[in-house]
Structure 1
Amino acid sequence: MNILICNDDGYLAQGIAVLARVAAEFANVRVVAPERDRSGVSNSLTLDRPLRIRQAANGFYYVSGTPTDCIHLALHAMPEFTPDLVLSGINHGANMGDDTLYSGTVAAATEAYLLGISAVAFSLNDKGDRYWDTAEAVVWQLLSHLLQAPPTVPMLWNVNIPAVPPDLLQGCKITRLGRRHHAQSIVPARNPRGEEVYWIGPVGEVSDRQQGTDFAENEAGFVTITPLSVDLTDYRQMGEVAEFWQGVAL
């Protein structure tokens, strides 16, 4: 089996090193990741300049582009390695609720899924370096179970690992995405030349952490697995919209 690994934190991130090390116990591994942190770029493609691929001393490949770029280059510019599974992460910080729309980590997995390859995005709900042993143990257990019976049709899963020591893990739950209030503030500042610049502020508070959501169960110490879909159609509104536009002649 071949496993392709990507992330959005860059090829030097600790999380991708952990993920590659664990995955290598189960399969042949290739890492193709951005050359620098590209968090929050979602599914963006680099269309205004050419891309480069380089190989680091540790064997990882790094790309001068986004996580989505990395997936396309890994599949189409490096055809000698055909992945059976794509893993993305381990992200430094959670990717839950509507944060998944912005996440480059989830985007890499999504792009693989769109191209017909099963993919799993892994994120650790901690931005420090305290719980990598927890993340490593969780990834090992999940891959061990997943690869016993690999999926026969492409699937897309979003996995979030709680910020607890391994002995305090409560188990694993299948969850739905929660919701976060994204009324982001704009933080004005001035650069060294005195020009006004702006920072995008921090994310808002969680607005839906009901039981069964990724936010609630992860906070309770559970590893959360959320199966994702890329169909954005709101089927509940189709009848209402059809009624609204009935009789319009174009």
Structure 2
Amino acid sequence: MRILVTNDDGYHAPGLEVLEAIAEQLSDDIWICAPSEEQSGAGHSLTLNQPVRLQKFGHRRFAVTGTPTDSVMMALREVMDAPPDLVLSGVNRGANLGDDITYSGTVSAAIEGALAGVRSIALSQVYRSGDNAPADTFEAARVWGKRVIEPLLEVTFDPRTLININFPPVAADAVKGTRVVRQGFHDYSRGSIVEGKDPRGQRYFWFGLHAIEHTPDNGTDLEAIDEGFVAITPLQLDLTHYPTIEKLTERF
């Protein structure tokens, strides 16, 4: 099995090393192609207004001066000598739960794989600070990664679908198991924008410095993480709201 490993935290991010180790438990045909710098929040964006450069770090190891989507496109079209059987994106340092997936470069890299017809999985490690935080931020993902991915390899993915996995912020032996759940909902209306001034007196704004409030509804990824489970969420790329089609057809 040929596996493409990518992320949005950048080629040198510790989560990429964790994911490579997980991939090596599944195959010996591993390719790395990730952004050269952190691209968190890049979503499914492409670099269109400047050239994208490709840097080779070693055998089957590459970095791209662009977004996660750029990285997957470059891997599939320029780097790899044959298509992969699996795209793994992550392990992101931080949650990709609820509406966060629309901003996520980690999920978007997996989306690009799904668009290319490749089985694709995004993986994120929820983390927390403080006395109760695990000594190893990625411990749950490191230990549970293979356990979660292997059963998915036995499932046929429908076209234009992917899997989003989030690991809870607990030690590996404290993980209660896995849950297959739906996407939750964050209340972004209560998010924050902090204004400041740079050394030259110019105004700037910083997004997302405070936690987004949410209600972990039953059966959601948010609830699963809050209760100490690995959250497994199947996603689809068709954004059409079918119930509205009939209403609009009658109107127009």
- Normalising by structure 1, report the TM-score: 0.91
Check whether the contact 1:182–1:203 (CA below 8 A) recurs between aligned residues: no
* 1:1-250 matched pairs, under 5 angstroms: 1-27=1-27, 28-56=29-57, 60-126=61-127, 130-147=136-153, 149=154, 151=156, 153-154=158-159, 155-183=161-189, 184-202=191-209, 205-245=212-252
Q: 1 CA distance for matches of 2:87 and 2:94?
A: 20
- CA offsets 1:20-44 (integer angstroms, 9 cap, x no match): 0121122111110001110001000
Describe the shift of the 1:237–1:207 C-alpha distance in structure 2 as closer, same or farther (beyond 3 A): farther
Q: 2 CA distance for matches of 1:172 and 1:83?
A: 26
Equivalent pairs: percent with the same residue?
38
Q: SS state of the match for residue 214, structure 2?
A: strand
Q: 2 CA distance for matches of 1:151 and 1:93?
A: 28
RMSD over aligned Cα atoms: 1.8
Check whether the contact 2:167–2:229 (CA below 8 A) recurs between aligned residues: yes
Q: 2 CA distance for matches of 1:100 and 1:203?
A: 18
Q: 2 CA distance for matches of 1:24 and 1:87?
A: 12
Q: 1 CA distance for matches of 2:96 and 2:171?
A: 19
Give the total of aligned pairs: 244
Check whether the contact 2:128–2:169 (CA below 8 A) recurs between aligned residues: no
Q: 2 CA distance for matches of 1:35 and 1:47?
A: 17
Quote the offset at 1:81 in angstroms: 4.1
Describe the shift of the 1:146–1:50 C-alpha distance in structure 2 as closer, same or farther (beyond 3 A): same
Q: 1 CA distance for matches of 2:211 and 2:246?
A: 33
